[in-house]
Structure 1
Amino acid sequence: MEFIKEEIEDMSYPEPSRMKHEDTEEQIDQMEEKERRHKLNDVKKLCDFKTQETEAKKLHTCSQCGKSFTQKHHLNTHMRIHTGEKPYTCTQCGKSFTRKQDLIRHMRIHTGEKPYTCTRCGKSFTRKQYLNTHMSIHTGEKPYTCTRCGKSFTQKQKLNTHMRIHTGEKPYTCTQCGKSFIQKKDLNTHMRIHTGEKPYTCTQCGKRFTRAPALSVHLLIHSGEKPFKCDHCGKDFISSSHLKRHLIVHSGEKPHVCSLCGKSFSWLDSFKQHQKTHDGVRDHVCSLCGKSFSWLKSFKRHQKTHTGVRDHVCSLCGKSFSWLKSFKDHQKTHTGVRDYVCCDCGKSFTTSSNLKQHQRTHTGEKPYTCTQCGKSFTLKQDLIRHMRIHTGEKPYTCTQCGKSFTQASTLSVHLLRHSGEKPFKCDHCGKDFISSSHLKKHLIVHSGERPHVCSLCGKSFSRLSSFKLHQKTHTQE
């Protein structure tokens, strides 16, 4: 406003005695100048008034953080941040809020009210900002762009979250195990591992889930719906993520390569699991026996060995399973479906893992080697079982007599001794056995088969154990 003041001070006005009634050119100029001077003076007064008014309005200042407000009730609302007061409580679920408008918005969850409707597709929303975000789907507008990789986003908040991928920032940390996350919602989901909370329940079977998407996929199991179809082989899937994983089978792509050993993987989760073998990270610890696991799914599978829960039951034979995958693989034994075929010998299998294991009989590959004695194995589980010879570990304990075993299958057979059950019957003589392996050994008695032949003396044996025992007679000589 200084230039206005200077301009006003420099103005000189004609004396009234010298002014004539005739409107000369000079007089007109003077009158116009006088009018202009009044206008400038009014502007100055108005600006000064507005400045004073704004300053006068901000009379309510927070004593704790110094923030000022134009109205007292705004200050009162702000103070609740410091005091933690939440005076507005939902009568239906008990959740409390600092502001009344937050409670009003929350109530729409219970009432189902969605007052903001998209004029393009008719979809409704509980909040106006959700509608504004939704509108970008129709307009295709993504105004927020990442300067690092060029990816665009509809919301600034989503861009900020995305930037953490580049910076490595993980601001949300679990207080129980120290694991950090990029987003708060990921931390909230993770916390359910510790609390055991499963807020999403299937109305058909009562099974509970930690995440809503997991429940949505589960419901498709009941409906039998598989909306995602593979264009290559026609196989159907219940989710787009399952289809994406399957497509890699056709492409043969393995984009995830370990920088330490060069091994490549088709799926990111398999790659991450492999990396833990180098790091030695086992962040999932069983509270009952102290055993630790690299992967959550392995940890959950282990927990069922303590609980004995087998919630997947075959409707045809009554056999129950702890895991859905094992249940589905079992169902194929009834349907006869074997969609994984060996290209070397034509033998078919119910699962891809069984096919891979079988193919090692052709290649002679034994990728799992014992670090203590150098013995190699075709299957990882065989190496794990073998290692118990060195460690003396017997993790499977009979609850009736306390006897421990290195393998779960051995414990299962042992439990039949307590129950007296012998579920495997010989069709030739009617004799009962507690395991299928015992029945197989017995059947050789009826067939007369002696497949194990000594190369030194030509003697043949029906059982491998008898053959090995015989071989020792030659070595002792």
Structure 2
Amino acid sequence: MRIHTGEKPYTCTQCGKSFSRASGLSGHLRIHSGEKPFKCDQCGKGFILSSLLKKHLIVHSGEKPHVCSLCGKSFSRLYRFKLHQKTHDEVRDHVCCDCGKSFTTSSQLKEHQRIHTGEKPYTCTQCGKSFSQASSIRDHLLRHSGKKSFSCDQCGKGFILSSELKQHLTVHSDEKPHVCSLCGKSFTTSSLLKRHQRIHTGEKPFKCSYCDKSFTHSGHLKTHERVHTGEKPYTCTQCGKSFSQASGLSVHLLHHSGKKPFKCDQCGKGFILSSLLKKHLIVHSGEKPHVCSLCGKSFSRLYRFKLHHKTHREVRDHVCCDCGKSFTTSSQLKEHQRIHTGEKPYTCTQCGKSFSQASGLSVHLLHHSGKKSFSCDQCGKDFISSSNLNQHLIVHSDERPHVCSLCGKSFSWLSSFKRHQKTHDGVRDHVL
């Protein structure tokens, strides 16, 4: 009778919502209490109602009883099946008054409108992060638990969400069903295709609220905005250093572990990243792909080429406040300032000797190892570092590039040349 009369005598004292049945109120109260007495014995997920658990178990069984007669697509849940049917009918009668976008259900419209209002009603009690959708907070809470209930039956890798497992399975199948109509490139998911298509359209829908910059992906916007806010949510538990990106923390943790899994097969030097090893290999190949168009000088590393370019423009905008000396980069200035402060932050764990530069410690450690990986191809003499070998090669070439402007005498090494110049100045700083 209450269906016809609309009577709802059972009212929640916490939020005022009313129900026609006592059982409806009982189930509703569990939302406030957080109680979920009905547990899934396969993944541990809890539910406030037994009917919800029953529906959830279909996910594990793989059963999809609801089949679309128009396209053959099957669904485990009736409501998803009904939503799908509307895509064939194109019934989108729930329209957003802000942007005109239409939806098949009122709940979809309500969730969409939170984009315009910025409302995030679902808050995590563990970290305080808020979400616009209930499904997002559910997925977020699973990440706090760290439980990986979904495993790949091909490689054994575990996943927190079934959607992550589904996406991972495309790696094994090599299936890329989502094809770009403009360039033919294919993708494993529709979201990746959508993101790719923005390259063609030039669309950048995610705009920074602090500056005029916009992005093709929401994740890129989130990372960028940390430049303005100074937020660094990824903190190292060992030293307290914080990072704006998870990748920055991951690389930093490798420094603590001391692990250098990427080894050079020519000199044995180890690196924490494969990209650093790749850059290092250019040293052995002798390749110098970066050529200065002004003087013809070539470089193996892009950053050294860029530094060299500044010498032509004489852009030295990093000035030492102690002596007025200027530098092309902030890192060069920082290293120089250690001359004034006496700071030597790089310490050898074997002998305790300290250095002002990381490169100084690196070369010093080679002396401890005794390893001489660089050999002279003319006389067979071995050297610890490539710089020592380069200096030695001058002996064979008879090259004397350092010429005294006062007497014309030339020298193979800069140190010998400087020592000679002191004889003209009358500087005798070594007293017996």
TM-score (norm 2): 0.66
Q: Structure 2 counterpart of 1:301, which letter?
A: V
Q: Distance in 2 between matches of 1:429 and 1:280?
A: 56
Q: Distance in 1 between matches of 2:198 and 2:420?
A: 51
Q: Structure 1 counterpart of 2:363, which letter?
A: V
User: Among residues 219, 231, 248, which one is paired with 1:298 in the alignment?
Assistant: 248
Kept after mapping to 2: 8 A contact 1:88/1:103: yes
Kept after mapping to 2: 8 A contact 1:366/1:376: no
1:426 corresponds to 2:376: yes
- Larger Rg over CA atoms: 1
1:133-282 map, 5 Å: 133-135=83-85, 143-152=93-102, 156=106, 159-170=109-120, 280-282=230-232
Q: Distance in 1 between matches of 2:365 and 2:411?
A: 30
1:57-68 map, 5 Å: 58=8, 60=10, 67-68=17-18
Deviations 1:19-43 (A, max 9, x none): xxxxxxxxxxxxxxxxxxxxxxxxx
Deviates more, 1:114-123 or 1:180-189: 180-189
Give the equivalent residue in structure 2 for 1:71: 21
Sort the Cα spacing of 1:461 and 1:311 in 2 relative to 1 into closer, same or farther, 3 A: same
Q: Distance in 1 between matches of 2:186 and 2:426?
A: 61
Q: Distance in 2 between matches of 1:377 and 1:270?
A: 32
Give the equivalent residue in structure 1 for 2:40: 90
User: Among residues 63, 73, 77, which one is paired with 1:123 in the alignment?
Assistant: 73
Q: Structure 2 counterpart of 1:360, which letter?
A: H
1:100 corresponds to 2:34: no
Q: Distance in 1 between matches of 2:424 and 2:354?
A: 35
Give the equivalent residue in structure 1 for 2:306: 357
Kept after mapping to 2: 8 A contact 1:230/1:236: no
Deviates more, 1:370-379 or 1:125-134: 370-379
The CA RMSD measured in Å over matched residues stands at 5.8
Give the equivalent residue in structure 2 for 1:32: none
Question: Aligned residues, how many?
Answer: 418
Q: Distance in 2 between matches of 1:338 and 1:214?
A: 44
Kept after mapping to 1: 8 A contact 2:320/2:337: no
- Cα distance, 1:305 vs structure 2: 0.9
Deviates more, 1:92-101 or 1:71-80: 71-80
Q: Distance in 2 between matches of 1:202 and 1:348?
A: 49
- Cα distance, 1:98 vs structure 2: 1.4
Deviations 1:254-306 (A, max 9, x none): x989978x9x7988888876765665554443332233334433332222111
Q: Distance in 1 between matches of 2:187 and 2:384?
A: 39
Q: Distance in 1 between matches of 2:399 and 2:181?
A: 47
Q: Which runs of 5+ in 2 are unaligned?
A: 428-432
Q: Distance in 1 between matches of 2:380 and 2:9?
A: 98
- Cα distance, 1:433 vs structure 2: 2.5
Q: Structure 2 counterpart of 1:364, which letter?
A: R
Kept after mapping to 2: 8 A contact 1:256/1:267: no
Q: Distance in 2 between matches of 1:409 and 1:322?
A: 16
Sort the Cα spacing of 1:143 and 1:350 in 2 relative to 1 into closer, same or farther, 3 A: farther
Identity %: 47
TM-score (norm 1): 0.61
